[in-house]
Amino acid sequence: MLPMGRRRFEMKPFALRLLLWAVVVVAGAFTLYLTISYAAIPLLIWLSPTLNPTLYDLGFYGGSPSQTYISNGLSSPRTSITKYDPDCDKGYTFLNYNGGSMPDPGPAILDSNSELVWKGQNYAVTTNLKVQTYMGQQYLTFWSGRKGGTMGKGVYYMLDSSYETKHTVSAAAQGSEIEGDLHEFEITKDNTALLTFYNVTPADLSSLGKFKNGWLTDSGFQEVDIATGELLFEWKASDHFQVNETFMTHPFGGYIKSIPFDFFHINSVDKDSKGNYLISSRHTHSVTCIGPDGQIMWILGGQRNQFTDLSGGDALNFRWQHDARWLNEEEGIITLFDNKEGGPLHVDGPYSRALMLQLDIANRTVTLLHSYVSQYRTRTPSQGSAQYLPDSKHMFVGFGHSPVLSEFSLDGTLLCEVHYGAQWLHVFDTAVSYRAFRSANWVGKPREPPAAKILDEMLYVSWNGATEVEAWVLQGGGTGEHEEEWSDLDFIDKEFYEESFDLSQLSQYSRFRVGALDREGEILGYSDVAPRESSGSWWGFLFAVVLWGVAFKISWMGYKWFSQHKGVARRGVSWVVWKKS
Ligand SMILES: *[C@@H]1O[C@H](CO)[C@@H](O)[C@H](O)[C@H]1NC(C)=O
Ligand SMILES: *[C@@H]1O[C@H](CO)[C@@H](O)[C@H](O)[C@H]1NC(C)=O
């Protein structure tokens, strides 16, 4: 007589058994997930708060943990501050959130506590958000368009202090297919714009062992007049560089038009007081100075390097670099971001760093003055920026493809570091900002009123982009013939992007609005009358608990069954094998 369990087991068709096991495994995984995220991790952090940044960087909270604001529905990353120093610059940080884990990509401004100040909505992919001066006015500028591989086709926006588009700048096309690329948009002192472009063109690639009739991604830059759009200057790499000066390799690149070979990869343009252009080209590992006539004046780094390294090789060994800029022309000082990596097949050093180099152009020598390495020695395969902050003499460095922002003293000591995503997951393209920019010079006065919403007994308020709000005043409205009368009920100082008022003791009022106060206590604007919403959050919580219970019960039944029938299961498997053979 067989035991019942065994008989039942053997009666079940194989597919059904597989299905049952799949249900048990899924329920088990789900139970584990809920238990870890909602019980184990909170407990761990309660026991040891210092673990928090590590769990954050490992992605325990997701690729880019975010918070959603009730007042306006926008989201922004919850940052992790891994290093802090009170001497750090108090300006705003300008980023472009991109990457697979970003719930709400777009241009963003953060304050010195990494609190959101402004989030741009309804732009396509954006890069290079910063503050620039044009005709004596400050503008928020960025690129927006379509990204294809590592280049883009789009236009450059210039927003005024109310976040309205005042100008858009395009590349001068001249009958070609040239469009503005995502890597650079720099407004010069002459009120012109420097911008990069990429275009695909037939080329002889036989010096690379490829076809004579191959396809090249050429790249270059233009200087255009912002007011008229007139092209003032154009330079392209293929006129001045050989394709075999590249360090990029791509086994399939260059044979067909849809997979062209990107030999140069321009990624920054800066203009000096003499009218020369300083450009960085990632795939030739070089920084090149170009005269107003388009001719090359000198090349730093790469195959045609003209400089002697007075720092034993440490000044010239930058690889796959970005963002080369003049810091001090008279003293010959430039800054750049040395990635050291151009993707998994092109790794040329242990970590990325920002560099401050001193050039003696007459003698063609270069000296490494300082280098800037992140707290955990981040090596980022693409993007990145290095900015000198003249007031504090600090360096502000964005690690591009890795969600790390670091501030250093001039000599390279790390002072502050903020992560806006899980840095150890960056290979998955989780949270990215092409560059990061720091400036205190921004005043935002949005045209839209503050956003206010009531959820249960709380009123939530925010004002996207407003930089001058110091405090909020809650007002309650009268009814009937007193509808136009508002009385002050409560005040709070503004500390966070979104603030909230408790309405539970104010049941005598049925209508509320919020006023924004500036430093002098003057009203900057009022929200509309706040609409009410109910959250049902208790139901959500209850639902999660029930779900956890069900999943736990299923996994527990599966486990019990398995431990009671270990022998049977083994015999059952051998029975299946025996029957087949
Ligand atoms: C690069 O190619 C050119 C021909 O286009 C050739 O003259 C030159 O020797 C090559 N340089 C190297 C380093 O192979
Ligand atoms: C660099 O060149 C200047 C002249 O331009 C010369 O006076 C100086 O000695 C040179 N310095 C070095 C280190 O060679």
For the segment 233-289, what is each residue's pLDDT rounded down to a tens digit?
999 999 999 999 999 999 999 999 999 999 999 999 999 999 999 999 999 999 999
CA nearest to 334, candidates 297, 305, 366, 307 = 366
CB atoms within 10 A of CB 522: 11
Q: How far is the CA of 334 from the centre of ligand 2 (A)?
A: 19
The residue whose CB lies within 8 Å of the most ligand 2 atoms, and thus the one to mutate among 308, 310, 359, 360, is 360
pLDDT digits (tens, 9 = 90+) for 65-93: 999 999 999 999 999 999 999 999 999 99
47-55 LR contacts (CB < 8 Å, sep 24+): 52/80, 53/80, 53/81, 53/82, 53/419
Nearest CA to ligand 1 atom 9: 207
Helix (H, G, I), strand (E, B) or coil at 318: coil
User: 46: which DSSP letter?
Assistant: H
Q: Return the bridge partners of 97, or none.
A: 106
What confidence score (pLDDT) does residue 50 get?
78
* Segment (H or E) for 286: strand 286-290
What confidence score (pLDDT) does residue 148 get?
83
Helix (H, G, I), strand (E, B) or coil at 110: strand
CA nearest to 288, candidates 260, 308, 274, 267 = 267
Angle, vertex CA 472, rays to CA 469 and CA 474, nearest 5: 155
Residue type (1 letter), 395: M
Ligand nearest to the CA of 361: 2
What confidence score (pLDDT) does residue 353 get?
98
Angle, vertex CA 227, rays to CA 226 and CA 232, nearest 5: 55
Tokens of 124: 């396509």
Residue 316 CA to residue 300 CA, distance in Å, equals 8
308 CB near ligand 2 (under 6 Å): no
Ligand nearest to the CA of 360: 2
Query: Read out DSSP for 174-219?
Result: TTS---B-TT-EEE-TTSEEEEEEEEEEEE--GGGTS-SSEEEEEE
Q: Report how far Cα 134 is from the mean position of its chain's Cα atoms.
A: 26
Residue type (1 letter), 217: T
363 CB near ligand 2 (under 6 Å): yes
What confidence score (pLDDT) does residue 128 get?
97
Query: Read out DSSP for 373-389?
Result: --TT----SS--EEEEE
Tokens of 378: 């981040």
Contact of 320 with 285, CB cutoff 8 Å: yes
If 0-12 CB within 10 Å is exposed, 13-18 middle and 19+ buried, where does residue 577 land? exposed
Atom of ligand 2 nearest to the CA of 360: 1
Q: How far is the CA of 332 from the centre of ligand 2 (A)?
A: 14
Contact of 417 with 394, CB cutoff 8 Å: no
Contact of 119 with 104, CB cutoff 8 Å: yes
Contact of 320 with 339, CB cutoff 8 Å: yes
Query: Read out DSSP for 404-473?
Result: EEEEE-TTS-EEEEEESS-GGGGGG--SB-S--EEES------SSPPEEEEETTEEEEE-TT-----EEE
What confidence score (pLDDT) does residue 521 get?
96
Question: What are the residue ranges spanned by the domains of the chain?
Answer: 66-439, 451-533
Residue 415 CA to residue 399 CA, distance in Å, equals 16
11 CB near ligand 2 (under 6 Å): no
Nearest CA to ligand 2 atom 11: 363
Nearest CA to ligand 1 atom 6: 207
For the whole model, what pTM was predicted? 0.88
CA nearest to 284, candidates 272, 296, 294, 270 = 296
The position carrying tokens 């070089």 is 286
Q: Which fold has domain 66-439?
A: Neuraminidase (2.120.10)
Tokens of 144: 């927006």
Class of the CATH domain delimited by 451-533: mainly beta
Ligand nearest to the CA of 207: 1
User: 44: which DSSP letter?
Assistant: H
Low-confidence ranges of the chain (pLDDT < 50): 1-2, 5, 581
Ligand nearest to the CA of 366: 2
Residue 461 CA to residue 449 CA, distance in Å, equals 11
For 169, residues 6+ apart whose C-beta sits below 8 A from its C-beta are 155, 156, 158, 180, 185, 193, 195, 224, 226, 229
Helix (H, G, I), strand (E, B) or coil at 34: helix
